[in-house]
Amino acid sequence: MARVPRSSLLLAGFLAASGVTHFAAPKPFDAIVPRVLPGSPRAWTRASGVVELALAAGLAVPRTRRRSAQATALFFVGVFPANVKMAYDWRTRPASARALAYGRLPLQVPLYLWARQAGRPTAG
């Protein structure tokens, strides 16, 4: 059996934890779903949680890691509008809360790059 690179496993763990959190504590995720999306915010929160769990599973399996890593990178691009909404909505909160919301925006870049790297054959 092929060895799963540590970087891929760490990213899978990150996604799995986030996916579980979407179900265990959905309200914060509901609040950042862009209003322009059809349907209820809770449906989007659940769908996002399912996608994160599926991506995590795909990253852990050598046969599906490359495609899952590509999908994960696209996922990080796709959820960026939610982070923008959070930063906008939190613009009047205390400085520490604003720093958290604003900090999520540039964090998407290393997450995207991590996902791209996790799909390479030499990813470690």
Return mean pLDDT, the chain: 91
68-97 residue pLDDT tens: 999 999 999 999 999 999 999 999 999 999
Residues 97 and 22: their CA atoms lie apart, in Å, by 20
CA angle, 103 as apex, 90 and 6 as ends, to 5°? 135
Q: Is the pTM of this model over 0.75?
A: yes
Give yes or no for a contact between 27 and 17, defined as CB atoms under 8 angstroms apart. no
